[in-house]
Chains A and B, each alone.
Chain A
Amino acid sequence: MARVGVFVCFCGANIADFVDVPTVVEEAKKIREVKFAIDYKYMCSDPGQQMIRDAIVQHRLTSIVVAACSPRMHEKTFRKALSDAGMNPYLLEVANIREHSSWVHQKDKKAATDKAGDLVRMAVAKSIANEQLHEISVPVTKRALVIGGGIAGIQAALDIADARIPVTLVERSPSIGGRMAQLDETFPTLDCSQCILTPKMVDVASHPYIELIPYSEVIELDGFVGNYKAKIRKKASYVNFKSCTGCGACWQKCPVKVPNEYNMGIDKRKAIYTPFPQAVPNKPVIDAEHCTYLLKGKCGICAKVCEKGSIDYTMQDEIIEREIGAVVVATGYGMWDAKPYEEYGVGRYKDIINSLEFERMVSSNGPTGGVPMRPSDGKIPKTVVFIKCVGSRDKAKGIEFCSKICCMYTAKHAILLHHKVHDSRAYIFYMDIRAAGKGYEEFVNRAQVETGAVYLRGRVSKIYQKGDKLMVRGEDAQIGQEVEVEADLVVLATAVIPDKGNPALARLLGISYDKYGYLSEAHPKLRPVETAKAGIFLAGCTQAPKDIPETVAQASACAAKVCGLFAGDTMKKDPMVSTVSREFCSGCQNCVKVCPYQAIVTEDIPLGHGSKEMRTVAKINEGVCQGCGSCVAICRSMAINLAGFTDPQIINEIVAI
């Protein structure tokens, strides 16, 4: 015979103002199995928990119902109270009479009280069928995979490795460094981006706990948290990194010229190249799409000039497999293509560039030696118009969100322009100046005061050419007039968009992404680093636009999460997972299709005892299962059972009302 204890919480006034708590207690007492019922002002407080612990012992209770707030708030608290009293924690049921009753029925106390009573009756009925459950232990492979070698991936890898946990860092391009390696100086302190980044890049390469696999991509991820298996395709570099000294003879002699990605296509690189002088690893690769020898079998100059004989045209892509326990995704961002802004003449005028192109021009290691130049004629621009929010905050043509970093880097660009071309002037068209951050507002003020940058609040409606000038026509909303600026160069702060490969990568990893292609965090406020899939974490702009300090903070947060996950030899996991009764399973595999976590596979078992004929049944990996119950609902044979939500439990609940 079940002996249920019911504990009804006032939650201060939150519940008691709209639900008559003593009535709920009296109603509970009428249930045959309820041997003890009581109310208290704050059940989650220490005295409240003590009441539960005492009652369990005194009244020899077999299950507990707490009628209080959402189980998301305090289920863990009350489960712990049960354990402390020597009771299996999963014999607890929470009746949510706050979010589900008092908060939503504030105008009708009687109805709210009745509903609270019903919720308690259901919980009591369910708890009677509760079974003792035990946490699941899952073994952990203590190696992390970091995807993307920009500042986010670098920081995450270093922090994890510093905790003496091995890291495999996979980078798509020939060198790590990412977008930050393309930047000149960084806001709000104007310290040189390269100078603060390259030491970290070198640390990555030399760290005993980091395995750097450049020029490669993750192509497969199987398994579950703590026990993933990753397949990595290492693209053929056609250069033997072991013997190559990085002397540079090959790329000096290579006759093929290709637009240079590192310099945003402003100048050319060779078909055999290192992306930039500070590259890590500092070894060249051959770009197979452009190399004459690989395409047509002619040329071979790089092989001739290489003293070490490091060039190997026969090299093939290589598949590397690694067992890992956690993944940090840090694939970074790209720039939105401003083509839809036809009124700006994007694509028709050479002297309209985007901010990253401008960044390369003012970079001292950039294609123009650190001095901005007009792409059309190479002249040094004196009047530069910066237009913010091109594509951002623009539902009609671009993207709804704010790209967050443009206000700050445009202020920086105004300052850099002034530093490089003293007699120049920057005009900045803006919607709002969003300078929330430490030292940010001061930095924007600096741009305005020190460099005399003219901030014009308003949108640009048209850009047209007049002679060799670009006429930028816009609104100055603060004086309510149309203004026209005769510009030498126009720089568009185009929207920050996620990497194009994100949707494919998300599918490969089994995580979700939003309509823009940003990877989705598990909770926008309280779990901003985790994904919905256990053991996969997000760092940097792959999740949303953010600046360097925020990216680094998130990357370190990822590292903390990974270290936490790897703290023990095994991981504990809630036992609310599904199991298949093989004898009932018809092998239809509908559950395999509906499982959002890819936790269900199939296995072949003998048709009958000792039989040689086989039949297929579903098999659930309890390490991956998150207990969502989709498989239970779809199963026609009622062969799947979700612990904590079994058929008898649910039926009891329904019968109770």
Chain B
Amino acid sequence: MKKVTYFPGCSAHGTSEEFDQTVKMVMKTLDVEMEEIPDWNCCGATSAHTMNESLAYALPLRNLVLAEKLSNDTMTIPCASCYQRLKVTKVHMDENPELAKKINTAVVGEGEYQGKVAVKSMLQYCYEDVGLEAIKAKVTNPISGMKLACYYGCLLTRPKAITQFDSPEYPMSMDNIIEALGAKATPFDFKTECCGASFSISDTEVVLQLSGKILEMAKESGAHGIVVACPLCQSNLDMRQPDIEKKFKVKYDLPVFYLTQLMALAFGFPKEKMMFAKHIVPVDGALAHIGEVIEEPKKPAKAKKAVQAESEVE
């Protein structure tokens, strides 16, 4: 039995409750005990770091200090924004203990920061600490037949110097997990493009443009649905999808799953527990593909090569 510290973040208790619930189900199945940080606070995203550097460090730092009071050596965070704020703070504080001390004594006041807890996103924890083999071993109801585009968004693997995880431009960790569950990950070039993030509220048009492009490319890749590991990605791609379809006069019909929802499904949990009712785009169409046999495209006829072509060479 592994133990890990859990930082749910605010969205897990609101808009992405289904993420939180399925993370708990999945971790239990994977024999990981999650210990929530008592009295955790807001990570500061996205307002704090655009306004006040000290505040941007102080908020996550308090969570880091509280996490050190638990006995676990790793903390995992489902929300990509929370993960980013805590990881940035950890990296910068580890590099600059003087600053850590200053902010800690001036603002936080929960004890000394030692930098002993590793900060990992839920995706990273599943991929590195649990491992593909362990995940595969728990699959009872493979979701084979589904073709899925894995969307990582901007924060899970970037910037590389901070996250130290997977490729910043073309990551594959989520794709590998999805394939371990039996599904097929489609080649998807927009897996780290910007979805528009919190412009969803202040300038929705931006999100319609950017997320629209992501949906278009996901559809083009042949996917039945999109997989994410970030509440904001999910809400932009899912909640804004009807607006996008209306604006660009297209029909995508691409449900946006949390990675853990699909893991829970594959681990044999009943569909009702996934809270799919909270999704805007219905998931049934995509889930109906489970069990289908995916035909591998035939190898294209050997490309004509080195033909002494009808050239215009002088």
**A residues whose Cβ falls under 8 Å from a Cβ of B:** 266-267, 342-343, 345, 348, 364, 367-371, 373, 375-378, 380, 419-420, 422, 462, 464-466
* Residue among B169, B193, B300, B313 with the highest chain A CB neighbour number at 10 A: B313
Q: Which of B169, B300, B307 contacts A342 (CB 8 A)?
A: B169
Residues of B within 8 A of A462 (CB): 189, 193
Residues of A within 8 A of B296 (CB): none
Q: Are B312 and A369 in contact (CB under 8 A)?
A: no
Residues of A within 8 A of B313 (CB): 364, 369-371, 420
Q: Is the interface of A mostly helix, strand, loop or mixed?
A: loop
Residues of A within 8 A of B189 (CB): 345, 462, 464-465
Q: List 26 A-B contacts (CB under 8 A).
A: A342-B167, A342-B168, A342-B170, A343-B169, A345-B189, A348-B170, A367-B305, A368-B307, A368-B309, A369-B306, A371-B309, A371-B312, A371-B313, A373-B309, A376-B303, A377-B300, A377-B303, A378-B305, A380-B309, A420-B312, A420-B313, A462-B193, A464-B190, A465-B189, A466-B217, A466-B220
B304 within 8 A of partner (CB):
yes
Cα–Cα distance between A422 and B309 once the two chains are bound (Å): 15
Q: Which of B169, B170, B217, B306 contacts A267 (CB 8 A)?
A: B306
Additional 8 contacts, C-beta under 8 A, given A369-B309, A369-B311, A419-B312? A345-B189, A348-B170, A367-B305, A376-B303, A378-B305, A380-B309, A464-B190, A464-B217
Q: Are B311 and A370 in contact (CB under 8 A)?
A: yes
Cα–Cα distance between A71 and B304 once the two chains are bound (Å): 68
B96 within 8 A of partner (CB):
no
Cα–Cα distance between A369 and B304 once the two chains are bound (Å): 13
Residues of A within 8 A of B193 (CB): 462
Interface string of B207-246 (1 = CB under 8 A from A): 0000000000100100000000000000000000000000
A365: nearest residue on chain B (CB-CB)?
B313
Q: Are A371 and B311 in contact (CB under 8 A)?
A: yes
CB distance from B88 to the nearest CB of A (A): 18
B52 within 8 A of partner (CB):
no
Cα–Cα distance between A422 and B305 once the two chains are bound (Å): 21
A367: nearest residue on chain B (CB-CB)?
B306
* Residue among B169, B306, B309 with the highest chain A CB neighbour number at 10 A: B306
CB distance from A95 to the nearest CB of B (A): 48
Residues of B within 8 A of A370 (CB): 311, 313
CB distance from B268 to the nearest CB of A (A): 35
Residues of A within 8 A of B307 (CB): 368-369, 373, 378
Q: Is the interface of B mostly helix, strand, loop or mixed?
A: loop
B50 within 8 A of partner (CB):
no
CB distance from B155 to the nearest CB of A (A): 16
Residues of B within 8 A of A348 (CB): 170, 187
Given A377-B303, A378-B303, A465-B189, does the pair A345, B170 have CB atoms closer than 8 Å?
yes
Cα–Cα distance between A451 and B246 once the two chains are bound (Å): 43
Cα–Cα distance between A408 and B201 once the two chains are bound (Å): 48
5 nearest interchain CB pairs? A342-B169, A464-B189, A378-B304, A370-B313, A343-B169
Given A343-B169, A348-B170, does the pair A375, B303 have CB atoms closer than 8 Å?
yes
Cα–Cα distance between A645 and B168 once the two chains are bound (Å): 58
Residues of A within 8 A of B187 (CB): 348
Interface string of B162-191 (1 = CB under 8 A from A): 000001111000000000000000010110
* Residue among A266, A267, A422, A462 with the highest chain B CB neighbour number at 10 A: A462
CB distance from B218 to the nearest CB of A (A): 12
Cα–Cα distance between A266 and B187 once the two chains are bound (Å): 25
Residues of B within 8 A of A376 (CB): 303
Residues of A within 8 A of B202 (CB): none
Cα–Cα distance between A377 and B307 once the two chains are bound (Å): 12
Cα–Cα distance between A376 and B304 once the two chains are bound (Å): 9
CB distance from A227 to the nearest CB of B (A): 51
Q: Are A368 and B169 in contact (CB under 8 A)?
A: no
Residues of B within 8 A of A380 (CB): 309
A463: nearest residue on chain B (CB-CB)?
B189
Residues of A within 8 A of B217 (CB): 464, 466
Cα–Cα distance between A266 and B307 once the two chains are bound (Å): 12
Residues of B within 8 A of A369 (CB): 306-309, 311, 313
Cα–Cα distance between A373 and B167 once the two chains are bound (Å): 31
Residues of A within 8 A of B303 (CB): 375-378
Residues of A within 8 A of B170 (CB): 342-343, 345, 348
B275-314 interface with A by 8 A CB criterion: 300, 303-309, 311-313
A341: nearest residue on chain B (CB-CB)?
B169
Cα–Cα distance between A376 and B299 once the two chains are bound (Å): 12
CB distance from B186 to the nearest CB of A (A): 12
Residues of A within 8 A of B309 (CB): 368-369, 371, 373, 380
Residues of A within 8 A of B311 (CB): 369-371, 420
Residues of B within 8 A of A371 (CB): 309, 311-313
Residues of A within 8 A of B300 (CB): 377
Q: Which of A367, A422, A465 contacts B312 (CB 8 A)?
A: A422
Cα–Cα distance between A525 and B216 once the two chains are bound (Å): 56
Residues of A within 8 A of B305 (CB): 267, 367, 378
